[in-house]
Amino acid sequence: MNYFRRILLIVLTVFYLFSCKTNNKQITKHEQIQYVIAKSGFIKLPLVFDASDDDALDVNYLVDFSSNDTLLFESGRFDIVGFFPDTTNYYAFLYLAIGDMLYPTIVTMDKNWQKIDEKIICTSGCLSSPLVEVTSCYNSVWIYKDLKIKSISKVIGTIEIDDDSTSQILNICNMQTLDGFIDKHGKIHIKESGLIDCGN
């Protein structure tokens, strides 16, 4: 009798686990998109922050590859800050890409969740260099209501230059700018200035 009870218990357990898996997979891609948007929330624009400060933005949704998020994301790490409001033809969200620093990055997806574009939206001017002794640095980013983007970084510090006979310390002041926008089709247009000497 105990043998049959054990078999019945195993069969019921397997059936229960199978039912749970089946129920998890019944959710549609569209439902999962709405779930991720609801959990991430909408970004209030205009948004202004310092990209050199790792704590400047709050992460509201961390993509979980053991969940239904696999309906939307195949690989990578997505620490989502939030979605942009009022985008009719596409979805757009801001996340923090991890590298030498946290890079604020915008991704745009069409309504079928196919990627349109992905761009880092800061100048990365505050990355440390072994040659430069940095005394101050900022890397400001603005995202406006019309989805125009601007970033300005300014680094002030000193650099030591050695030649055959002498060494000298020079003061430096470097700036970089970035301007961009998201068009009505979800393409992200970015133009960077390159290095600007602001020491004169």
Q: Which residue in 160, 88, 91, 153 sits closest to 127, CA to CA?
A: 153
CA quadruple 128, 199, 166, 163: dihedral sign: positive
Output phi, psi for 40, to 5 deg: -75, -40
Span 96-125, pLDDT tens digits: 988 778 899 999 999 999 999 999 999 877
Nearest CA to 138 out of 16, 36, 8, 48 is that of 48
Higher pLDDT, 9 or 44: 44
Pairing of strands 196-197, 188-192: unpaired
More confident residue, 100 or 47: 47
Which tokens go with 121? 């939206």
Q: Is the pLDDT of residue 127 over 70?
A: no
Contact 190, 121 (CB under 8 A): yes
Averaged pLDDT for residues 135-151:
93
- Mean pLDDT computed over every residue of the chain: 85
User: How confident is the model over 68-77, as pLDDT tens digits?
Assistant: 999 999 888 8
